[in-house]
Amino acid sequence: MSTVAAYAAPAAKAPLERTTVERRPVGEFDVLIDIKYAGICHSDIHQARDGWGEGIYPMVPGHEIAGLVSEVGPGVTRFAVGDRVGVGCFVDSCRTCEYCEQGLEQFCVKGMTGTYNALDKNGEPTYGGYSTHIVVDENYTVRIPDALALDVAAPLLCAGITLYSPLRHWNAGPGKKVAILGLGGLGHMGVKIADALGAEVTVLSQSLRKKDDGLRLGADHYYATSDPATFERLASSFDLIVSTVSAPLDMDAFLSLLKTDGVFVNVGAPEEPNSLNMGSLIGGRKTLAGSMIGGIAETQEMLDFCAAHGLGSEIELISADQVNEAYERVVASDVRYRFVIDAATI
């Protein structure tokens, strides 16, 4: 065991504060990672504040981790000291179920082990990336290509893969019209990735406030959903809509924007239920779907794709003592587009 510095929520709804946590010894297949940067995901805030219930405290959030390998266990074959690596939303899974075998560890039937706010196989709580070091099994560690700076790569480990996976699964590419609903931490990566995949990209945002950003990031079109004319103008337009919004939506209105056989995918997770008229799906053979992060192999594919296309996250780098203030700004949608903690300040 080793004691490392971290920022943790000591209890539900309490502000985060500097503390220490114990990391397990480096096991046979483990890598010790010297964390350089950790992104702040909106789900960190939900969990630190116990918005989803059953939080484990003290809680060290952070599942967008970028750093350097500083020690490897004797059985490690994929990484060496000094390698640039990342860790995303989970650090283990059963490894034997049909989904783990297909590289869909995020859907492990026994449940993936979250990078924080979870219990590992030994029943010990996991602590996330708002920390100086983390010990992770090499099979749940990915390589960050040299072409990506570590600070802008960190948010790719959740925000990047959350958008990359559905865009690939539903074949965003040349000839496809794709809408990204919401231009925040998730949505801005959706715009970049969908554009790089060759799709015609439209941002649907509440207002036109971020229009210049959206077009700069790669969108071809940008419309405000607060304007009813948007829904008339864009009726039956899209092959794919990816919603990053975590509030209930007028589903019938949004489904009307899909072409026949179009797909509406949720990656945002509204806490409230949503309702819709089934007629909105039946007419036009439309699909309402969901997607959650991606497996380890696909996360590596996403990082390689982003490196090849020069796609990092747009970030605001902060020191660790600004984390509580940053949380307030995320809740107020006042960040362009991801806060990243400089772990050297922890």
- Residue 279, Cβ neighbours under 10 Å: how many? 10
Strand partners, 342: 37
Q: Environment class of residue 266 by beta-carbon count within 10 Å: exposed (0-12), middle (13-18) or buried (19+)? A: buried
Strand partners, 242: 180, 265
The reply to whether 108 sits near Zn ion by the rule CB under 5 A is yes
**181 three-state secondary structure:** strand
| 170's tokens | 């539903």
* Contacts of 139 by beta carbon, 8 Å cutoff, 6+ apart: 29, 78, 95, 296
Query: Closer CB to Zn ion, residue 89 or residue 255?
Result: 89
Kindly state the smallest distance separating residue 293's Cβ from Zn ion, in Å.
Answer: 8
Q: How far apart are CA 182 and CA 265, in angstroms?
A: 13
Query: Closer CB to Zn ion, residue 94 or residue 149?
Result: 94
Residues numbered 150-209 forming contacts with Zn ion, rule: CB under 5 A: 158
Q: How far apart are CA 319 and CA 343, in angstroms?
A: 8
Query: Closer CB to Zn ion, residue 97 or residue 208?
Result: 97
- Residues 106, 292 contacting (CB under 8 angstroms): yes
Kindly state the smallest distance separating residue 284's Cβ from Zn ion, in Å.
Answer: 32
Q: How far apart are CA 3 and CA 24, in angstroms?
A: 9
Query: Closer CB to Zn ion, residue 114 or residue 262?
Result: 114
Query: Closer CB to Zn ion, residue 214 or residue 294?
Result: 294
Stretch that binds Zn ion, among 27-35, 96-104, 263-271, 281-289 (CB under 5 A): 96-104
Kindly state the smallest distance separating residue 292's Cβ from Zn ion, in Å.
Answer: 10
Query: Closer CB to Zn ion, residue 158 or residue 219?
Result: 158
Kindly state the smallest distance separating residue 121's Cβ from Zn ion, in Å.
Answer: 12
Max Cα separation, the chain? 62
Among 100, 199, 267, 315, which residue sits at the site for Zn ion (rule: CB under 5 A)?
A: 100
Among 33, 41, 154, 167, which residue sits at the site for Zn ion (rule: CB under 5 A)?
A: 41
Query: Closer CB to Zn ion, residue 157 or residue 255?
Result: 157
- Between strands 177-181 and 200-205, the pairing is parallel
The binding track of 217-256 with respect to Zn ion, each residue x by CB under 5 A or -, is ----------------------------------------
- Residues 131, 62 contacting (CB under 8 angstroms): yes
The reply to whether 9 sits near Zn ion by the rule CB under 5 A is no
Kindly state the smallest distance separating residue 112's Cβ from Zn ion, in Å.
Answer: 8
Contacts with Zn ion by CB under 5 A lie at 41, 43, 93-94, 97, 100, 108, 158
